[in-house]
Amino acid sequence: MTVRVSELVQYQICPRLVFFGTRAHDERDHALQPQNATRTRNRIEAFILKEIAFNLYRIINCELDIAGVIGDILDSVPRIYREELLWRECDLASVSEDIMRAVNKEWLDKLQNAQGLELELVHGYERERVLYSEPLDLSGSVDKLIIADEELIPCIIKTGKSPEYGVWRSDRLQLAAYAMLLEDEFRRTVRRGFVQYIRCAEFREVLIRRADRAMVLQVLKRVKRIKRGVFPDRSRNAPCENCTYADTCNIRRTFLSVLLDGGTGKSQRQK
């Protein structure tokens, strides 16, 4: 029962995302289902920002035609993410215009001074390195793997907003999971990594702590239980209004309530 790192992140958002995602007949078909306009636009924007993050060396080294470099990146997005979106239903042009406005002088100035960028420019990186640990039954694909001399430095790309300080809890979990996968494969300790919040050109260094590794193991056990069939509680702060499983989740919750209440509207435990 192999667990993906992305499922650990889903658990942090809401455990039921793991439950329904595991039982989807075909996750690729699910991803290709028609989405509302806002969700589709957000996905396109995320893919564009991610490709920009993969091409920072081109942006930094281009002194004159920045617009040309960004334009080239935009042109590549429909081909790279062909399977993820129904492009005939997407307004790529309008999203691209917004991205072009966002990549302004202020953004470029912040990028020039971004923490850890020098490591990437000097040593390069391997894109989307696939990792697997048999002892953990865990797999994943780290966005960037920088190998600086003998040091392994995983980097993950995030297209949302950054916290005021540090990194989001789910990002720390994800980075620690990749660190543990790298340690199993290379037999070396991974001491740090980076979260690249590309939208705001904020790159945050993260030291991998014992507590982070413990959190990965704890969440991994919980995810495995869900994948065996345990229906989890919904997260207290679950973003239900934006969830693609909202209807299915509500139907199942109603069904379970009827079973527990015996159709009387009162919990059997209260009788």
Summarised one tens digit per residue, pLDDT across range 4-57 is 999 999 999 999 999 998 876 444 444 444 456 777 788 888 999 999 999 999
The pairing of strands 151-158 and 138-148 is antiparallel
Q: Supply the mean pLDDT for the chain.
A: 85
Instruction: Note the Cα 25 to chain centre separation in Å.
Output: 22
Question: In the chain, what are the domains?
Answer: 1-22+121-259 (3.90.320.10), 34-103 (no CATH)
Bridge partners (DSSP) listed for residue 206: 193
Instruction: Note the Cα 38 to chain centre separation in Å.
Output: 19
pLDDT at 66: 75
Whole-model pTM: value is 0.86
The pairing of strands 151-158 and 192-197 is parallel
Collect all residues with Cβ–Cβ distance below 8 Å to 197 and sequence separation of at least 6. 158, 160, 161, 162, 203, 204
Which amino acid, residue 158? K
For 159-186, letters b (16+ CB in 10 Å) and e give beebeeeebbebbbbbbbbbbbbbbeee
Distance CA 252, CA 248 (A): 6
pLDDT at 234: 86
pLDDT at 270: 39
Distance CA 238, CA 234 (A): 7
Task: Please choose, from the candidates 167, 180, 109, 175, the residue with its C-alpha nearest in 3D space to the C-alpha of residue 142.
Answer: 175
Bridge partners (DSSP) listed for residue 132: 139
Task: Please choose, from the candidates 143, 158, 142, the residue with its C-alpha nearest in 3D space to the C-alpha of residue 201.
Answer: 158
Summarised one tens digit per residue, pLDDT across range 87-138 is 545 567 778 888 888 888 899 999 988 989 999 999 999 999 999 999 999 9
pLDDT at 199: 94
231 three-state secondary structure: coil
Distance CA 232, CA 248 (A): 14
61 three-state secondary structure: helix
Tokens of 270: 């209260």
Q: Does 206 or 83 have the greater pLDDT score? A: 206
Cβ of 193: how many Cβ atoms within 10 Å? Answer: 29
